[in-house]
């Protein structure tokens, strides 16, 4: 794939890293301070990205400003993979919100912590969402073929 198509379809790695860091540290701060509203803000930040793509991502917009020079020389992650990961995070943060609203705080913190752990591990180099994405693709290929 040529670089122009890759840039149009992908997400620069510095922005992917920023997204992971925002999720990790946002949930960590929320957990340490026991402030549920931080989880709500994270959910509201990531929801438009999941629904409508990177054009509606606050993290993508800020990352483009902060990492302007790095983006020019960085590699890109597949937009579909990034959207898959964001969908998992959005779903878990949504379940967290529902749990808090239902008075199930412990369950809410468990869902939020799953996002923190997955994004934190991804910052360290192993993307759990990516692993699930490729396993899904392999199984779909085995069942339905090319």
Q: Give tens-digit pLDDT for 114-124.
A: 999 999 999 99
Mean local confidence (pLDDT), 4-16: 76
Query: H/E element holding 10?
Result: strand 10-12
- Give domain status of residue 70, yes or no: yes
Q: Tell the residue number behind the tokens 């606050």, with chain if given.
A: 58
pTM for the model:
0.88
Tokens 């964001």 locate to 86
Q: Tell whether 3 is covered by a domain.
A: no
Domain that holds residue 33: 10-144
**Cα–Cα distance measured from residue 92 to residue 73, given in angstroms and rounded to the nearest whole number:** 33
Instruction: Give the pLDDT of residue 18.
Output: 96
The verdict on residue 14 lying in a domain is yes
pLDDT above 90: residue 144 = no
Query: What is the per-residue pLDDT for 7?
Result: 54
Asked if the structure places residue 130 within a domain, the reply is yes
User: What integer pLDDT is reported at residue 4 of this predicted model?
Assistant: 53
* Per-residue 3-state assignment (H helix, E strand, C coil) for 77-108: EEHHHHHHHHHHHHHHHHHHHHHHHCCCHHHH
Report residue 146's pLDDT band, with 50, 70 and 90 as the boundaries: confident
In the chain, the number of structural domains is 1
The reported pLDDT for the residue numbered 116 is: 98
Of 3-12, 18-27, 71-80, the range with the lowest mean pLDDT is: 3-12
**pLDDT computed for residue 5 by the predictor:** 52
Check residue 8 and give its pLDDT.
61
Tens of pLDDT, residue by residue over 38-65, are: 999 999 999 999 999 888 999 999 999 9
pLDDT in tens, 84-107: 999 999 999 999 999 999 999 999
Whole-angstrom Cα distance, residue 25 to residue 104? 23
Assigned domain for 1 exists:
no
Q: Note the pLDDT of residue 1.
A: 46
């Amino acid at each position: 794939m040529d670089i122009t198509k890759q840039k149009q379809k992908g997400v620069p790695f510095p922005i992917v890293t920023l997204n992971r860091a925002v999720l990790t540290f946002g949930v960590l701060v929320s957990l340490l301070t026991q402030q549920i509203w931080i989880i709500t803000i994270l959910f509201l930040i990531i929801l438009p990205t999941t629904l409508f793509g990177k054009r509606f991502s606050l993290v993508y917009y800020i990352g483009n400003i902060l990492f302007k020079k790095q983006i020019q020389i960085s590699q890109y992650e597949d937009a579909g993979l990034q959207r898959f990961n964001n969908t998992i995070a959005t779903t878990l943060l949504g379940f967290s919100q529902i749990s808090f609203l239902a008075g199930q705080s412990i369950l809410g913190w468990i869902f939020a912590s799953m996002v923190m752990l997955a994004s934190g591990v991804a910052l360290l180099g192993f993307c759990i969402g990516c692993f699930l994405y490729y396993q899904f693709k392999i199984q779909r290929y085995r069942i339905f073929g090319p």
